Structure 1
Amino acid sequence: MKNINIRFWWLLLLEFLVAAFLLTCTTDVETVDYLDGICSSVSPLVGFTAQLNMLQHQVRGEIEVLDDCSFSVTKFDMVAGKDVRWWGAKGEDFQNMMNGFVISRMHLNQTLKNESMVVTLDDCTWDDFSVLGIWDIAFESDYGHVTLPISYIIGAPVAGLSPAVAPTLSPGLAFVPSPGKEVDEESVWGKEQPTMLDNCKELSDVYRLRWTLNIETGTVDLGLEAAIPYTHYMAFGWAKPESTSSFMLNADVAVAGFHNQTAPFVEDYHINKYSECSMTQDGPASVCPSSLYPRTHNDTSKTTNVKFIYGQWQDGVAFIRFRKGLQSSSRHLDVSVSTTSEMMIIWALGVMKEPDSLWPWYLPEKHTSFGHVKLNLSKALNECKGPLQAPNFDDSDLLTTEPGIAILVTVGPAIHNPNPPHPDEVIYFNKVESPVLKVERGVPVTFSIQAGHAVAFYISENPVGGEPEENTMIFAGGPHAHGVPASPYYLTWKPDRFTPDEVYYHSYFQKKMGWKIRVVDGGLNDMYNSTVYLADQKVRLYWMITEAGVSFAVKAVPKSGYVAIGFGKSMVHTFAYVGWLDGAVCKVGTYWIDGRDAASIHRTNETLTDVQCAQQNGILTFQFSRPLDPHCTSRQECQNIIDPSIPLKVVWALGTLWKPDHLTGSNMHSSKSSRYMSVHLTKGVAEPEQELRPVLAVHGFMMFMAWALLFPGGVLAALYLRHLENDGWFQIHLYAQYSGLAIMSLGVLFAVAETGEFRTGSLHAKLGLTSIGLACAQPLNAYFRSRKAAPGEQQSLHRVAWLFLHRYTGGAALFVGIITLWTGIFALSNEYSGDQMTGLDWALAGWLFCIFLLTVYLERSGFRNIKSGKESVFVKGKAIDQHTDSANLLRPKQAPFMSAALDDSQRYPAKRKEVQLQVL
């Protein structure tokens, strides 16, 4: 008994060790992908193959599970996306797909053209997901996927596994059979996707033929694929074997397209004339459906031998698959197709005519492109390298806004949503399911939101929607923007030139209910607040002041190779902005110009944002934004500061060729502005450079006459013309000063009358008022002039004070007046063109220099000491007898108390010793 117990315990221990070992091995297989570089292959999915269904971006490919941690992809086509990864999810429904995860570190951001690759699973196993797909991270969008078999997921055996799992249909135009036609589900849901066929031939750059030959059933599956709008048709067929030319006559043709732009169809047509279908006494004629032709007395076959299988319109590419019998007993309508020899095939693309009251059929109109080529169906062929891409395919789904008409925002079922996966209900615009909305910058858009209180409408840069993150830019709407039909919520949004080219509309409370808004440049008048034609009407300037600075747009009216504007009175000493066409690319550059040759044009590095440049029909337009203050100090462009309160002087130039790296004389402008334009940025107006107004010219001339001629002349007369008899110096001095005052007063009146107001804010006005006040004080001062002292008497205190005031206030008036002349010239130079004002400052300086030279000459020649034989004195305007004399008011070397009536012996006592008396 004891031995039996010992044996039992040993057996029990041995079973435990074996179970532990097996459990350890099993755990290692399930959780570890690689062990010493080798991956196990115990998963029942090893060897499983499936084809990717096409949801977006023209995805095609075949997937095979290689082992427990990798799979291969062959015949892989895909149009490039932004951030595309391999994706795993628990199921195909919306929530499971949104909650999926990245299963490989491989990126799929480039366009793939019939590629083959091996993908390794990272940090996951086949047990972690049941859907293997291609996922756009930024848009949270499914490009295509395969579903792993349910039998494997629930742990059942996987013998004879095949991917007979119904895939999600394309979000475009999904599987829709033609009315009254049976559908072979095995060909759709069996071992291949409806978009995948064995062979492919390029008929043109935008048209492809795909086919799979079914020898056993005597049929061929044909796939017509073309980058066309869904208002067009695709035609393909076989010509009569005996035809040597005009291959389309009596040809057996299938025409495929879309009913009501939604339901795909294919029809068998017969061609007996090159014109649209019509009914004659003998029956249908021209290009007509075969169903219209009557059967012959010995023909019991169907009049059509094509069967619709699948159709979609996705990413701007139409694809319709149908099945055609190789042999037909209707010899007068159909052509029997050989599987071993070459036959002539014909094809065409064109616009489909919609039914009307006379013709209840969709009829092809005259083709826009066509061709013929020989084809052997049994010969394997793959000329289609990569996915077929349609430029601007969103245009076919565009909903364009109209000014003044509100867009109705509602919700409805998701039928053909362009961005899978998606919730059951999505946003509708004007009863259209999630269209691409096209708006123009500067044009307000109004939304009438009637989607219910559970859908809060908003526009942002977030492509997914739902509650946005804190740093998400919201352009309009928000959690408050919801309404119902009884009480709509009206939301108005005006995109501007800073709005991105692509934004998105969504619900605030649910992800992926909306889609894209394409923002395009409207008229520049809508995008900018102000616009003017610059001088000579050849360049138009647009501008708008913003919080960040100022934005400009420049448009050349005539055709040109480049257009430039400069901030200044002329192109010399100007900060310039040039827009030019470099091949097919339009560019914008900034420059400092300090001369008139090509070597004087220097490239700068200004901080420009929102730079755009375009050429249409030879007309160049460029746009840019810049700060008002560059906020720098060390570079030349740091001085390019714009003060909106001061008119900005703008000039322009046009030319035929601009080479920024090798500027020569050939790059000089062919035309330029004849004058600058003063642009008032804050007022939104501009005025051209004006000719010097005559009244202001008269004002300046009068002030020159007064302050540079009459007033200085009167002073010089008082200093150096005292030798004139009968007080001639005093007469000249008096009349010169009074004439100067009169002319000065008239000049002031002319200036006030021209400007319409009496402005005192400028430095010129302030100095002018000061000089006028000092000048007008001189006649008042002269009126209170006191009598000078008699010979031998001392000058009175009143006389001394009067001399001091008269002398120094007069000198101060003359000094301030000349300074005022300078400020007047500078003020005119700032307001008018430099060409008109050139030389005025130098002319004034030359005149004053001549007065200075004259003064030096008179002083050195001793004119101040020359005396006349007879002098007189004036007191308060009355003449004094000849025994008194007038005071020398402006003689600085003579003391004010010295009498002018003293004789030489009194003035010069030293001469008394030389005087001798003689007897009469």
Structure 2
Amino acid sequence: MVTRHRLMVDIDLSFVMTSAIDERGGRSEAQTQYYGKLIGSFPSSAGQGGVAGTVYAVDNNRLQIVGFSFDGSVTAQFRAGSTGSPSGNGGVLVPNEQGGTGPLGAYNNKKLVLALPEGTTLQDTVRWFAVWGQNSNLGHVTVPDNFDYPRQRNIGEFERRQHQVRSGDVTILNAKQFYIRNLHYDGLGPDAFFWAGQTDSPSSSGFKVPDHRGSSDEKLPRYTGQTITIVLPGDVTVYDIKWLSMWCILFRANFGEVFIPTDLNVPPMVEDVPVPPMPMMNCEELHRDMQVSWTLAGDNLDVELAGRVEDGDYMAFGISGCNDRVCMVGSDVTVAWYDGDTPRAVDYTLKAYSQCSGTSGVCPDDRVGGADNNVNITGRQVNGITRIRYSRPINTGDTTTDKVIDPSQNMYISWAIGPINPSGVAAKHHTRVEDQVRITFGRQASDMCEMISSAMPAPVTPWPTRKIKGDQVTNFTVRIGPTGGRRGFEAITGLPSWGIAYWLNGLLIPELELKRGWNYTFIVEGGDNPATPERYHPFYITDDPIGGYTQKTPAEKQQINVFAGVDERGMPTAAGRYCEYNNPNGDASETSETFAEYARTLQVDCRPGQSAQFTWTPDDNTPDLVYYHCFTHQYLGWKIHVVDEFTSGAVGVSAGTLTVMGALIAGALLLSYIDV
């Protein structure tokens, strides 16, 4: 056993620690107590009422009192204030550790976590914290000037070394939790685990860190862009380690790592405190599944979105892109959802009716030159209802991505409900504005809402995956069409969609089985005008399961292979006229028990122009599994299985089945031929 001592840093963090690492067994037996950033202690000798304890900042909104004692002999409450010294009139009431506001009971050497009331923060409004009773100060601490409260820390991406490891930014949420965005790893390491240690660089002198499943017994699974949270084991904190790695114990190989900064000032990991939210002054029902409440607070608008939404779904709300009606393009909205256990409310701008690509589409403001102006984000999920609160200025000063909210005007509103894709970006809504909704934010207070039902929609039966075998079909017509709601794309792939997907030979994202050495022709009709991104979907073939080649960084492009549809300059070669299957009467997927029934509700509309075409011959260098995808957008395509010999007995769709048996009616091709 090797005894390690905490790395000392030049900021005042408060902890008591002894630790030991069993380097050979990869087990951590660290015992660490880290409470947050020290604010101060109540009198060293207990004051009136026996008040004693030490106060720490958990973050900007929470305090932790360690060793708190109070005999309960005096009617008292916790208070905080911004005046020079404690007073009953100058402060605000701080709820106790249970979220209650009644008189304090007796405490004997307890550890408490307290949440400051909404609108009260250590950075802006708290200069003292006190136990206040019977018009007297029973004990207080003073928040130092320019106090640097603990906060989450972004430490960059995993270094890319082996087994296709890469990630988005890694955030230290608190002293024990890492939030890893867009993680990729091929899953082929024979003895790979998350691994942490105190040496200067990753080495076998480390210990296992449980993965997102909480497991440190099973090797790491394949990651294909998931965003995960992992927790350091036992009492180990980030202050006990120098790096986090994806490590193969058997071969002592480092697949990729991030290093821990030495100047950390992050929150301790504490349990959430129940905070009874202050009621909003106004409420409007947008839909049976979604409501918006708000209070106008000076130059800020405090908003709560409440909805009966599925896990992974967002609620979007904001100002319409048009002054005289509801229109989605040009809207300034907040997209709010639960990211695991974390509520998020992100400032979005809707520049085009398409997935975010470059600086166009439905994008977070900070991806298109703006800023995320939402603050004070909190949330809770109770009885199937998700509630997320945030605040934003009524005039952010950002004229490129934000609308000015005029409290006196009856403003048109955009709202929607839909899925967040695995990259953490809003995908196309499944529920949206049907009526012309208008709100006057500065109106006289009124609550127009009923209670939202917590009952979820009845389950539906997914349609089976369609497969086309390349021994019978060698020509494929590629068009755009709907995703088939809960029965289609999402059920087939397990992924959210943008609301459109590729249709090949009249089938929704079929799996293809193609043989090496055979020639296959793809006739592409996904749009040829990049100026209209919602109708521009060049087709390509790749080993990347996500797609959206143009959205990738140069480093990400180095990690994937493209087999067809992109030239040596990285430009698309398969962009033809635009053809789209649609239902002029609205989506019928919920009521269509079979795919054939659904297909009969659709017609195809083709814009003038020429199709694009290319022929692809898979060869010995082509992997067994590749994907067809959209060059500009993610999650539109699906799988191609490449084989040396066609599988016997596999169910496929024959060329005869794919023959058009419908008729041209008013220029629309009715898909009445699919009876499989």
Q: Which has the higher strand share?
A: 2
- Structure number with greater Rg is 1
More helix by share: 1
If the length of structure 1 is used for normalisation, what is the TM-score?
0.22
